[in-house]
């Protein structure tokens, strides 16, 4: 007997779950288009080399990788950003920047499974390539928040935690950490929430940091306002001014309530160079819902010209959990206009013919040929969310009539078949 369960960490999508997934994707796609982003896609298989990074990113250790039959080292993509960089670099001379692109790729990571983390997920990626400075930040973050509003969420439910890698760099400089250690140290700092103080200290020790340096960093990470950090860093730290300007612009477009400074947001991917952000639920009971930031050096790291870029990845797993917890998941039916129900075998040909005539009119029609008891057939029609049922009863059909039932109003009327088709 073969194991019928999906591979550990992966999901099956039965129709009800797929309806929900499509509902979410429609919001993502609709929002992206509303903001003028264009959709792209690529194959889930990539060269492993695309994900190998020096700083020790966790994602590299989570790769689904293998040799293909031709001896190539391949991987299932764990994220879309390197693929996006590859696409841009291939056409660097031909493309018109800035570009606003989005995608909804399925991604694979061999993760330790916890609530909200699986080994396969879909991730809405929205990126602006070739636009330096805060404008692109405001546009991507605005699109993100607009999608949350479309899901029925408010600033009471979630918060966008905002920080800047340049600010963290200033903190590390202040703590006396040599520059070549900054990236690996940030990758370790990102684990702070997951592993706790002692283990963090040990890991930072492995990066060559002294106890005093770790304490210094910890002091900064305990600061809750940008004001406080500004004072502690003293003088004019450019990253502070950038963050202030960004927050002001986000306020100006009406999203100020959703956003707040959070110095503990580091992000685990080493390619970020400036703004970084994570979306979290207010009760902080779930993992990050969405994460992103500016990565101005990734394209040059791949051998191209330097091109500024910013974007985010927004997974389908945590958001559906949160919406479920809050009772905000929609009740989705099949969206059928009609279910045609023949009373018995004798009315089946007429049901086939009528269904086809209705479909030609552009209506969504299911014909129910299970020949169940009428009551059961109507119950099913209502369960699958059909708006109306058309009953083909022996006597009525003989007279050239059908019975049309409005499922919501529970009202029935007899109509001549011809008149019904004219309606
Ligand atoms: P990331 O933080 O690794 O960033 O992932 C972004 C989002 O994908 C997470 O916030 C979460 O919603 C979802 N996600 C990640 N891993 C899993 C998992 N194992 N199970 C379920 N959901 C998951 C990136 O991937 C960046 N490439 C995002 C980006 C785009 N930055 C710039 N542009």
Residues 362 and 302 in one domain: no
Both 397 and 376 in a single domain? yes
Looking at the 3D structure of the chain, how many domains does it have? 2
Length of the chain: 423
User: In this structure, are 207 and 307 located in the same domain?
Assistant: yes
Does any ligand 1 atom lie closer than 6 A to the CB of residue 342?
no
Same domain, yes or no, for 232 and 350?
no
Residue 386: which CATH number? 3.40.50.800
- Domain-embedded: residue 192: yes
190 lines ligand 1 (CB under 6 A): no
Same domain? For 293 and 366 the reply is no
pLDDT tens over the chain, length 423 residues: 899 999 999 999 999 999 999 999 999 999 999 999 999 999 999 999 999 887 788 899 999 999 999 999 999 999 999 999 999 999 999 999 999 999 999 999 999 988 999 999 999 999 999 999 899 999 999 999 999 999 999 999 999 999 999 999 999 999 999 999 999 899 888 888 778 778 888 888 888 899 999 999 999 999 999 999 999 998 788 999 999 999 999 999 999 999 999 999 999 999 999 999 999 999 988 999 999 999 999 999 999 999 999 999 999 999 999 999 999 999 998 889 999 999 999 999 999 999 999 999 999 999 999 999 999 999 999 999 999 999 999 999 999 999 999 999 999 999 999 999 998
Q: Residue 315: CB within 6 Å of ligand 1?
A: yes
pTM (global) more than 0.85: yes
Domain annotation covers residue 8: no
Are 304 and 344 within one domain? Answer: no
Residue from 141, 312, 313 whose mutation best tests the ligand 1 pocket (most atoms within 8 A of CB): 313
Kindly state whether residues 96 and 167 are assigned to the same domain.
yes
- The domain boundary, picked from 259, 293, 325, lies at 325
- Judge if the beta carbon of residue 288 lies within 6 A of ligand 1: yes
Residue ranges making up the domain that contains 306: 15-325
Domain containing residue 114: CATH number: 3.30.930.10
Regarding whether 394 and 260 lie in a shared domain, the answer is no
Do 183 and 237 share a domain, yes or no?
A: yes
316 found inside a domain:
yes
Please check whether residue 291 lies inside any domain of the structure. Answer: yes
Q: Which atom of ligand 1 is nearest to the CA of 318?
A: 12
260 shares its domain with 381: no
Is residue 249 in some structural domain? yes
- Asked whether residue 4 is assigned to any structural domain, the reply reads no
Q: Which of 302, 325, 348 is the last residue of a domain?
A: 325
354 and 257 inside one domain: no
- Say if residue 220 is in the same domain as residue 355: no
Judge whether 273 and 96 are in contact, CB under 8 Å.
no
pLDDT of residue 88: 96
């Amino acid at each position: 007997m073969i194991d019928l369960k999906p591979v550990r960490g992966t999901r099956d999508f039965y129709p009800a779950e797929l309806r929900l997934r499509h509902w979410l994707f429609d919001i993502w796609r609709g929002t992206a288009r509303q903001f003028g982003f264009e959709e792209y896609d690529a194959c889930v298989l990539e060269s492993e080399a695309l994900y190998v990074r020096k700083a020790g990113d966790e994602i590299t250790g989570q790769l689904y990788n293998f040799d293909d039959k031709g001896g190539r080292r391949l991987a299932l993509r764990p994220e879309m950003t390197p693929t996006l960089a590859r696409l841009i670099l291939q056409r660097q001379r031909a493309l018109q920047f800035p570009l606003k692109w989005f995608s909804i790729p399925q991604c694979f990571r061999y993760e330790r499974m916890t609530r909200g983390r699986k080994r396969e997920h879909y991730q809405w990626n929205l990126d602006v390539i070739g636009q330096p400075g805060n404008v692109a930040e405001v546009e991507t973050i605005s699109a993100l928040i607009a999608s949350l509003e479309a899901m029925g969420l408010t600033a009471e439910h979630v918060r966008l935690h905002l920080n800047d890698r340049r600010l963290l760099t200033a903190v590390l400089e202040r703590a006396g950490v040599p520059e070549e250690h900054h990236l690996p140290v940030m990758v370790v700092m990102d684990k702070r929430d997951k592993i706790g103080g002692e283990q963090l200290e040990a890991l930072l020790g492995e990066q060559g940091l002294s106890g005093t340096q770790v304490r210094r960093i910890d002091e900064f990470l305990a600061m809750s306002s940008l004001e406080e950090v500004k004072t502690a860093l003293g003088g004019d730290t450019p990253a502070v001014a950038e963050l202030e300007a960004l927050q002001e612009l986000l306020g100006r477009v009406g999203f100020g309530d959703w956003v707040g400074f959070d110095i503990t947001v580091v992000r685990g991917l080493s390619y970020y160079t400036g703004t970084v952000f994570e979306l979290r639920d207010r009760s902080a009971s779930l993992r990050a819902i969405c994460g992103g930031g500016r990565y101005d050096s990734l394209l040059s790291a791949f051998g191209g010209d330097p091109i500024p870029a910013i974007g985010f990845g927004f997974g389908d797993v945590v958001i559906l959990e949160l919406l479920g917890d809050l009772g905000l998941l929609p009740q989705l039916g099949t969206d059928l206009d009609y279910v045609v129900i023949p009373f018995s075998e004798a009315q089946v040909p007429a049901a086939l013919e009528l269904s086809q005539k209705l479909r030609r009119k552009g209506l969504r029609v299911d014909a129910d040929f299970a020949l169940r008891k009428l009551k059961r057939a109507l119950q099913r029609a209502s369960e699958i969310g059909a708006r109306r049922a058309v009953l083909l009863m022996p006597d009525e059909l003989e007279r050239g009539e059908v019975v049309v039932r409005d499922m919501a109003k529970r009202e029935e009327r007899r109509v001549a078949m011809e008149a019904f088709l004219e309606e």
